[in-house]
Every structure is written in C-alpha cells, then in structure tokens.
Structure 1
C-alpha cells in the first residue's frame, strides 16, 4: 500500500490561500462577488472586516478599493480571525506563519530585564492568544523604542529561526526615512565605519578597523528646506544604532536624537521611520513587499515658509 505523501509547509501555506489575478479595473467588492460566485455582499464584507483579503500582499478592508490590471488579490481561508485594534501598532499583514506590523514611536519592541512595560511583542502575544492560549509570537528583529515603522514577527519557533539565521539572504530591501539636522550637501552617499560600544553602552564610530562591527549605510537626499534634510537610508549591514551614529558622523544627526544628536528636536520625537521592508516568505518563498508612507510630521518640516513681509513705515 502506497503511503500518502505529506505536504510541505509551503504547500500547506499556499493551500490556505486563494490567489486571484486582476485583469480589468473594478472595485474590490465587485471583484470578490464575481470570483466567488454565490457569495453574498454581507459575506464579502465579512472577509474584508476580518482582514482576510490582501491586495498585492497588503491587508485591505476598503470595499470600494480600486483594483487595476496586474494586481494580485489574495483571500485567506483562515476562519475565526480575531479583530485587532491598537493605537500603538497597525497590523499590516498576517498569515499562519508571520505577522508584519507598523510600530509607533515610543513603544519597545520587546521587554528587557529593566523595562517590563507594554511592548509590541506583548500586544501581539495577547492578540494571537485570543485564538488559543497555546499561540504566541516570536521576536525576529527589533526597532529602537523611539523609532517607528515596519517589523516582522514569527508565529512559531521554526519560522523565527529561519528568519534570523538567513536574514541577510531573506531580506531583499529594508529602508528607513529620517529627518536630519541641517541641509545635507550631497544627493547620494555611502558611510562605512566600524562600530563599537564603550563601557557605558554608547556606540562610537571609527573609520579604521577598531575591532568593532563593520557598518555600511547608503543614503539618498529627498528634500532640503528650512534647515533640515529628508533622506532615505538603506542598510547594507544592520548594526546597533548604525543609522544614528552614521548621521552623527556626517554632522547631520537625526532630529530628536537625545543620545547622538545636537539637541535639535522640532517634532518632539526621534525622526526615524522604517518605511520599507521586502523579504522572501520563510515558508512559501514568495517575495513580500511592504511600504508605509513617510510620517506626515516629517513632511511638514519641509513646507516652504513664506518670507516675512516688512511693514512699510508710514510717511
């Protein structure tokens, strides 16, 4: 008797999703009702409200979202998904293996021995455990407390170790946007140095090998105005405090950086946001691409200020 071949995790993951290609412009609700013949409008709305629908790998709940030819609509077959609401985290993507979220500034990624406050990790753990106490999430990488932006969490240990052990191969693109003090001269640049912590855990940078970790940061200047610069940053290496120390190296520190900055803090926060994260799914191998808008507070710094009109003296 032939043994039935066991499916792989990738096959099981893909079997849990319906992937549909968009061939002509239409609204998302109409598309779902056409593709799933017999589905009611209420049932289609339920798929959207339970975040079971993604457009180009982004969870979409807007029923009248305008689809364009070439887009990909993915409908999860997972049932009984719990509603996720948090003012500190936005859930961007979820499947049986991973979660991608956008973290607000001021929130720790995970607790430490000294800091036991509410964290991104604890909020997501509470969320998944509403579907069963056996569920939990696993930290894969971290963002500083004062940095906002995209993070990926694993839903099981095997996926966590796959992501961590093969991070450099799995992650295709990871970028930040930062508002810097001063108007940077160059449009593009690369900073290379060796980073090492001193005894009081301040990271310092050396242009020659000091026994620390080699760090490489590429930057592109997006805007200059009002004494500030808006830059995109791409990390070739992912070292502790890399961006903040490298911006200090070129004498244009990140605004609001208490540790490595110059005291310039017009936003009342660290002006650093992880806006782009593209990686190969650790189970299916599919390329997932996530991007968030630049924070609106960053963009407001670059609104051209009208020159002050001098009053004419009355004769």
Structure 2
C-alpha cells in the first residue's frame, strides 16, 4: 500500500508511529494537551479508525499538570517507554513556556492495558525549557535526542544528543547538534525541535523542525557517517536549505514535527502534521487543525532522503 487518506488522523499534532511485532502504535498531542492516548492497528490505514486508549492523564498540580506535548512511544530493551513534555502551568516566563521532559514505563506485553509507572523528569545538565525527546539505537547503543533552550544562545531551542544509561536517565555529557542559524529556521521564532532519526545505507540522518508553528514551520536535516562518533559535533553535516516545506499549490502549510516508520510492504514512510489553511485566530499553538499525515518517500542515487512536497488533502 503506497497511498493513504490525507489527513490520516484529524486533530492530532506531533504524530509518532511505532511499528512493533506486526502492529502499528500511534501516539500524538491531543488538542486539550491533557492526556496520553495510544492507538493500535494492523495497518497504517487502520490507525484512523482504531480506538484511542487513554493511558495517563495530567496531574491536578505540579510539574506535570499543564500542556502535555509531543509524546513518543518506544520499546527499549523489552520495556515500553513514553517520553513527553509537561509544564507546571500554561504561563510563559522570560519568553518561553516552562516545559521539562518526563518518562513513563510499562513492563506489560500490551501497552494499552498494562500499568504505566511515572519515572519523573529526565534531567539534563541545563535546567531549562526542554521537550520533544526521542530514542533510537545506533552502534549498539541507546541514544536520547531532544530539543532544549541554552540560556547562553539566542532563540527558543537547539538539538541535543546523549547516550542513555536507563530509558529515563542520560549518561555522560550531551552535545549540541544544531542551533537555529538560517533564515528558514528563524521565521517567527528561532527553533530547532521535533527531531527524528533514521538509518539508510552508510549514514545516520536526523530530521527536525524549525521556525514558528504556522506556515513557516518546515523540516531540516542533519547527517553523519554511520561509523563516526555521534558525540563529536564536527562529524555532523547540516543541510543549508529546508527539506520539506509548505505547499501553496496543495494548500498544505507548516509540515513538520515528523517521525519515521515503515509501510506494510517495507516502504519508508514520513509521518508529520500540517494544516490545510493559514488563517488562524489567536496563537497557532491552540489551533486544532494540525492533522496527522503520512506519505511515502524515497532516496536519491547518493543515498539522501527525498521527501518531496506535502500532497493535497484527499480520500482513498
């Protein structure tokens, strides 16, 4: 199957799809920003009709009581893990929200019915606005990749990488992989966020999202030789141009906050959100029109991803 309805799932931003043991698992930000839901289906298309099971709700007070953002579901060394960001209130202080990163784990076979245990905040050397954590395995190690504000650097967030000691504890000193530097990364806000990793041939790639969450939102790309040390910043390369952007012809605006999965036939699939309009009343963050979309993508002769153009809204 190489074509899916667009959007696949409405009113779900920051989408993440995990393929595990023949099933697809879906998790994303809900418009109310108050809970974590998981869906499961045998096919990608089936996720659209799959029941959403709430596995956790925000606290009434405290650091996990507001703006539950950008969850991801991973299966790490036999254990289910959900990463998410949360804040103590919706307030903006010093120009930023107050998010920190948190983890839940589940030891049951079924993450929809098993008990989820709160593992607390994932601590990093800087105590600052942080979010959008993801996990990947590379060179036989577990890696933690996220977005965080460095008070010494202008802008909202940069991309950071560290090895994991446990699914909820980093190991060693993180390195900064990328900071907003190009004009297309600084439209509205200077942002690098929403990273996702994928391996192809002899390279490891990291996609990420940049700029404000309106029509300026777009995707950038980092890559490294698969044999090189990921904790040496000089080993990484960065595209000087965005790799996935709004399409005025197709009325698709602000594509980004992506993840990667594989289709039923093994094809590479880009998972992302985008709006079909630019007219937004108030803060784009609270507009529920960022819908989950998926599309197949390919690789060029040099082994670089070719994400193409976000396709127009359609039905199967």
TM-score by length of 2: 0.29
Asked which structure has the greater CA Rg, the reply is 1
Structure with the higher fraction of residues in strand conformation: 2
Structure with the higher fraction of residues in helix conformation: 1
Q: Indicate the structure whose relative CO is greater, using CA pairs within 8 Å and at least 6 residues apart.
A: 2
